[in-house]
């Protein structure tokens, strides 16, 4: 009986996390849909026009992006022959800044070093990978802006000056 209760409890927590948030979906035919949006783990989104309506699945084939809870997400073509990537839009302009949050669970050593019966995990963590979009070409920047990326930003002199003077920091990108 305890096992069944535990299993039900675990499943109820997973259902609570799968909630829809208020948002706007942008279709490829330039129409907008207002309603509830949920990001799927392995790509695409689910959309409901109302809380009680049936959900519809959308992916990069039918939408250009969506906005939810003040965040803007867009599908951006990264490499030829591959599907576009869903990236968070941080700054929009002639030169746009996008980001993608990644998580690494780390590596596990069974029984640890001491062999005490428990495993040991190390090396896990999360990071934000930044991308710059210039003239419809997406360039991967990494976790921070480096000097080699200044060549991409040559047309935007004010941004280059801020980076050189170190007025522009990683924290500013996250808040934008």
* Cα–Cα distance for residue pair 132/67, rounded to 1 Å: 19
- Give the model confidence (pLDDT) of 16-34 as tens digits: 455 889 999 999 999 999 9
Mean pLDDT computed over 147-172: 63
- Is residue 161 included in any domain, yes or no? yes
DSSP string computed for 81-141: TSPPEEEEEEE-SSEEEEEEEEEE--EEETTTTTTSSS-EEES-EEEEEEEEEETTEEEEE
164 against 31, higher pLDDT: 31
- Is residue 138 included in any domain, yes or no? yes
- Residue 171 and residue 92 share a domain: yes
What is the structure's pLDDT at 88? 93
What is the structure's pLDDT at 175? 42
- Residue 42 and residue 6 share a domain: yes
- Domain range enclosing 176: 88-176
Number of independent structural domains in the chain? 2
CATH number of the domain to which 58 belongs? 2.30.30.100
- Residue 171 and residue 96 share a domain: yes
- Residue 60 and residue 111 share a domain: no
- Residue 104 and residue 60 share a domain: no
- Residue 99 and residue 65 share a domain: no
- Residue 95 and residue 38 share a domain: no
pTM: 0.68
- Is residue 78 included in any domain, yes or no? no
- Residue 167 and residue 100 share a domain: yes
- Give the model confidence (pLDDT) of 102-121 as tens digits: 877 776 766 655 555 566 66
- Give the model confidence (pLDDT) of 44-84 as tens digits: 999 999 999 999 999 999 999 999 988 999 999 988 888 99
- Is residue 74 included in any domain, yes or no? no
- Residue 64 and residue 97 share a domain: no
């Amino acid at each position: 009986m305890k096992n069944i209760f535990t299993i039900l409890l675990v499943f109820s927590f997973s259902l609570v996390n799968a909630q829809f948030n208020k948002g706007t979906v942008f279709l490829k035919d330039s129409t907008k849909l207002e309603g509830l949006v949920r990001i799927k783990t392995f790509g695409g989104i689910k959309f409901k026009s109302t809380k009680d309506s049936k959900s519809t699945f959308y992916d990069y084939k039918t939408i250009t992006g969506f906005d939810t809870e003040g965040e803007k997400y867009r599908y951006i073509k990264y490499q030829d022959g591959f599907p576009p990537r869903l990236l968070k839009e941080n700054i929009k302009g002639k030169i746009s800044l996008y980001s993608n949050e990644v998580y690494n669970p780390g590596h596990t050593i069974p029984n640890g070093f001491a062999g005490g019966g428990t495993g040991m995990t190390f090396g896990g963590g999360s990071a934000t990978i930044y991308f710059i979009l210039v003239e419809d070409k997406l360039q991967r920047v990494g976790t921070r802006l480096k000097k080699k990326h200044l060549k991409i930003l040559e047309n935007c002199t004010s941004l280059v000056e801020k980076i050189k003077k170190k007025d522009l920091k990683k924290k500013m990108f996250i808040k934008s």
